[in-house]
Amino acid sequence: MTGSAPPQSGDDPLVIAYITAASKADALRIGRSLVEERLAACAKVLDGMTSVYRWEGRVEQADEAVLIAKTRSRLFDRLAARVRELHGYDTPCVLELAVGRGNPAYLDWLRAETA
């Protein structure tokens, strides 16, 4: 896991799940469940986001929070399904971002903490 070869090129890549929620409390509730169930190694919540989107033909604005969950690629579909169960929205934003290289010890920790 050391040296310049990407540690992610193998058979167990890691991903970031980018999720939005209606409030910091809601994001923390979802993130805590994902960590408790080992669907994510950690969950980070950023508060104070303003969202702009079209709804029924009008451009609306609302306060939201971001939840960044780190997990294995192979767990992403289960994580996304669980977020849909836990979330207050009908169509929550859950998007996968591929992780490339990383601090090798941290990548090991992410894998150890996920199911």
Which chain residues interact with a copy of itself by CB under 8 A? 3-4, 14-16, 18, 20, 24, 28, 31-32, 35-36, 41-54, 59, 61, 64, 66, 70, 76-77, 80, 83-84, 90-103, 105-106, 109, 113
Q: Which is nearer to a copy of itself, 88 or 95 (CB)?
A: 95
Taking the C-alpha atoms of residue 86 and residue 54, their distance in angstroms, rounded to an integer, is: 24
CA dihedral 75, 32, 110, 114 (to 10 degrees): -40
Written as one letter, the residue type at 29 is: R
- Nearer CB in complex with a copy of itself: 88/106: 106
Q: Give me the least distance between CB of 88 and a copy of itself, in Å please.
A: 14
- Give CA separation, 12 vs 15, 73, 86, in Å: 10, 7, 26
User: Closest separation between CB of residue 105 and a copy of itself, Å?
Assistant: 5
**Strands 42-55, 58-72: parallel, antiparallel or unpaired by DSSP?**
antiparallel
CB of 48 to a copy of itself, least distance (A): 6
Nearer to a copy of itself, 12 or 90 (CB): 90
Q: What span, in angstroms and rounded, lies between the C-alpha atoms of 35 and 80?
A: 13
Minimum CB separation of residue 25 from a copy of itself in Å reads: 10
